[in-house]
Copies of this chain bind each other. A is one copy, B any other.
Amino acid sequence: MTTRTDNDHAETGAERISDAEHAVMEALWKRSPQTAAEVCESVCKERGWSIPTVKTLLSRLVQKGALATQPDGRRYLYTPLIARSAYVGTESKRLVERLFGGRAAPLFAHLAQAEALSEDDIAEIERLLREMKK
């Protein structure tokens, strides 16, 4: 197993990152590199997983090109190959495409109706709108 350096691999292909895999990615985005045991310390309690589960997910993510491995003695240190922001952006756009015909305003309208927007959210969105108009 060699260390991979292709940063966009998982996000340009058809490989999806599953929900469970995503939880592992979040732990590694938060702090990396980490060993499998360390990742398990991060997520196993709140997810109710054991170490074999984490190791499987790590291995799948490596296969999908989402993680790089770096030998450290007999174990690996795992590092994300995709930026969280790239993943988040792709998932956001995917939702907008799937449910809103590619337009973001209806998504916003839905969130507004659902009262999912706090006053802070509104202030921040207004600020972003002002910046976009420059």
B contact residues around A22 at 8 Å (CB) = 98
Number of copies: 2
In the complex, identify which listed stretch (A1-9, A33-41, A103-111) lies at the interface while the others stay far away: A103-111
Measured as residues with beta carbon below 8 angstroms from the partner, the interface class of chain A is: 35 or more
A99 to B93, CA, bound (A): 13
Question: What is the bound-complex CA distance between A76 and B129, given in angstroms?
Answer: 49
- A43 nearest CB across to chain B (Å): 14
State whether B99 touches A121 (Cβ < 8 A): no
Residues of B within 8 A of A44 (CB): none
Contacts of A110 in B (CB 8 A): 85, 88-89, 92
Nearest-neighbor residue (CB-CB) of A131 within chain B: B112
* A102–B125 CA distance with the chains assembled, in angstroms: 15
Q: List 14 A-B contacts (CB under 8 A).
A: A19-B98, A22-B98, A85-B110, A88-B100, A91-B95, A92-B110, A92-B116, A93-B116, A96-B111, A96-B116, A103-B120, A103-B121, A107-B111, A108-B121
